[in-house]
């Protein structure tokens, strides 16, 4: 457990500001997966819990046949929103938008769903369909919610059996099964969702994917003036700005090197820095090597600043297996 004394400043929005980026295959020298994540935004209005970051190493008994995983979260968090398991399955969530509707009964918290995914899926075997099935396992009983008042008048087109995620969620996941690419995004809310893969949204560069706090496939529309909307509501400037900052930097790297670019962990850190708006409590870079080695680089916001600039701080590097010795 690592403690800091980060102090919040007045006027910082309570809106989510998480950002993620993943590169793999042709964009890395040895085809490893490199993922980066800025954790921004806190549901505690006093912002007390972000002053302490807890790294959980969750073991598994031989009888359970479940996978070990590690998770970086706040104290008191039940389940996880940021984790990677021993097979290299990466599962981390950004908050997202949601349709307006009634209360769903029998809904499972997304932090528990993410824990189930990390516990049960093997990154070297799991396909996108199997990941979808793992999320759909927790879809609420339709009989409990057989009331027209529960559902939106105009429901978004969904390829997932909802309800999936209680609040709107942008889950970034990685596998090594090469089923449609090594990383993808699940965009969902309590009514359903869709899967987004590489090349389905900007940047149109193979083997990379970016996510902030808005959807690109699940009920997303844009006009000629780039006024992006989810569920007929404007996407926040912050979410668009952070997405575009990372996109432009990635495209610059790709185009300036004649379409041949090998990114490393430091490259991902620079992308996270470009998306940091002074609200990042902690940042993580995860390296998933083809030989099974897993390395985490964790940055914590400095205590002497009023704002939080975690990706600019020194990293603590941890090997996955070191936590289970």
- Cα torsion through 294, 275, 231, 187, rounded to 10: -10
3-class DSSP assignment, residue 192: strand
Q: In what order do the strands lie in the sheet with 2-3?
A: 2-3, 52-58, 69-73, 82-85, 90-96, 168-174, 183-189, 192-197
- The tokens describing 287, both together, are 């390296």
Quick check: 2 pLDDT over 70? Answer: no
Supply the angle between the helices 128-136 and 110-120 in degrees, to the nearest 10. 140
User: C-alpha distances in angstroms, 86 versus 54, 89, 120?
Assistant: 19, 7, 11
| Residue pair 182/35 in contact by the 8 Å Cβ criterion | no
Euclidean distance between CA atoms 263 and 253, whole angstroms: 9
The CA-to-CA distance between both ends of the chain, in Å, stands at 17
| Residue pair 69/83 in contact by the 8 Å Cβ criterion | yes
CA dihedral sign of residues 66, 22, 92, 165: negative
Quick check: 305 pLDDT over 70? Answer: no
Per-residue pLDDT, 261: 78
Euclidean distance between CA atoms 268 and 217, whole angstroms: 24
| pTM score, whole prediction | 0.91
Per-residue pLDDT, 16: 76
Per-residue pLDDT, 226: 65
Averaged confidence pLDDT in the chain? 88
Least confident of 3-12, 164-173, 267-276: 3-12
Instruction: Please compute the mean of the pLDDT values over residues 297-302 and round it to a whole number.
Output: 92
Of residues 133, 250, 125, 221, the one with CA closest to residue 177: 125
Least confident of 92-106, 164-178, 245-259, 296-310: 296-310
Neighbours of 323 (CB within 10 A): 15
Complete domains list, the chain, with CATH: 2-324 (3.60.60.10)
User: C-alpha distances in angstroms, 293 versus 84, 88, 215, 296?
Assistant: 12, 8, 32, 10
């Amino acid at each position: 457990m690592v403690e800091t004394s980060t102090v919040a400043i007045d006027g910082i929005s309570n809106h989510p500001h998480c950002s993620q980026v993943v590169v793999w295959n042709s964009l890395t020298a040895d085809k490893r997966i490199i993922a980066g994540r800025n954790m921004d935004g806190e549901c505690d209005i006093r912002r007390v819990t972000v002053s302490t970051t807890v790294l959980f190493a969750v073991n598994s008994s031989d009888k359970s046949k479940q996978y070990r995983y590690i998770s970086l979260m706040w104290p008191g968090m039940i389940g996880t929103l940021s984790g990677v398991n021993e097979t290299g399955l990466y599962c981390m969530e950004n908050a997202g938008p949601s349709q307006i509707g009634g209360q769903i009964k029998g809904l499972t918290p997304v932090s528990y769903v993410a824990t189930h995914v990390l516990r049960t899926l093997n990154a070297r075997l799991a396909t996108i369909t199997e990941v979808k099935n793992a999320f759909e396992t927790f879809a609420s009983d339709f009989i409990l919610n057989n009331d027209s008042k529960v559902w939106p008048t105009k429901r978004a087109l969904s390829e997932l059996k909802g309800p999936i995620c209680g609040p709107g969620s942008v889950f970034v996941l990685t596998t090594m099964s090469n089923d449609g690419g090594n990383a993808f995004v699940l965009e969902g809310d309590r009514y359903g969702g869709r899967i987004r893969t590489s090349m389905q949204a900007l940047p149109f560069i193979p083997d990379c994917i970016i996510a902030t706090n808005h959807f690109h496939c699940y009920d997303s529309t844009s006009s000629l003036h780039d006024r992006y909307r989810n569920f007929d509501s404007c996407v926040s400037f912050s979410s668009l700005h952070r997405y575009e900052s990372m996109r432009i930097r990635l495209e610059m790297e790709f185009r300036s090197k004649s379409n041949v670019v090998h990114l490393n962990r430091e490259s991902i850190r620079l992308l996270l820095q470009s998306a940091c708006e002074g609200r990042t409590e902690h940042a993580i870079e995860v390296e998933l090597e083809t030989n099974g080695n897993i390395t985490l680089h964790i940055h914590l916001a400095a205590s002497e600043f009023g704002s939080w600039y975690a990706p600019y701080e020194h990293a603590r590097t941890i090997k996955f297996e070191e936590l289970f010795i």
